[in-house]
Structure 1
């Protein structure tokens, strides 16, 4: 598989975790990568390590996104940015948390599409990769509003395939189960207790696993669009409701 057809990529939420892992793999693949996060300081080490182009940008602001990304002629857009997950039940989710999740997970993704997709469609070449979650397709307690936004990403990815029919632009949703990024720690007030509950003794996915999946779908022949890929740990049952603890 080859990425020779692509030259430039944009990765949001690139400062750490899955986003940083994707940036590393894309740079190894020879792409010019714009690594997007809210703070340029968070991207400094990654830029020094990989040679990516750090870009401080709040993707919830439409005009700023159009100005920063609209002229890049990006061949690849990875919508990875996601707001922090906080635990609780739906009716107790604070208005601030609702706004943040909606702004980043939904409005941010739509803003990036508005900046990048017209150019892709005009050139007849491009690939959009949306990072979803198994929580968006299978109900799990503890993260209702986050799961709602990921369900919307699932629907958006399918709708994009219809909207872009005949343009040659490919769309992929990658839907991971539990990945050891630290995001789960926000589900509990005690972060160390969260680490024990969600990571210790579990053979979870790693950010590099998701980055390798991104490279696979990008490198597939142009005639092949991996429209939906669900990736879960071997020990996590379908939908994520059960997870075997090995130790």
Structure 2
């Protein structure tokens, strides 16, 4: 099983994390042509923790991070056309009126509204937690980690969006304090090679590949062995 994290979808990439619609389509088509089955994040988690619900060896899970408007404008129609599912790890502080987190260079118009996210989840979209301010949790005081997570969940409740039960660490950054806080609120979490050493087999340390433009060729070649090297995220 493999998990891949994308961010902004843009015809003219201006960040190492941006992917074009054509590149995304080529990756999905290539994986399908090689027998991959695309599964929702919850299905991947269930498979990893319950042998009775195991998915195929070549299953692929795609998660789009942060809540960019381009996810529903470009990625969602493309994924639907190809018959594959995906999840979204949104950041509530980016989706409501207010100051943009300093870690994000994009303007407010680049992100979805809470209303658009609510419509997407109502239509069956699978939402993951991703914090309120998109900040590395391992850099925060323990009480502030809890505040970040609780503020996010409160924002979803305020806007009538069901609370997600899966989480994706911002920047992949986590330590034991972050894992403990997340475990108190979610049933599993996705990580990357960033932050503390992984806890093999932990439901709160499920590895995913972060797409960067330098990894494009390897992704299109489905070179999972090198892509999943945690030192290369």
Give the TM-score band, short-chain normalised: 0.3 to 0.5
Larger of the two Rg values belongs to structure: 1
What TM-score comes out, normalization by structure 2 length? Answer: 0.36
What TM-score comes out, normalization by structure 1 length? Answer: 0.35
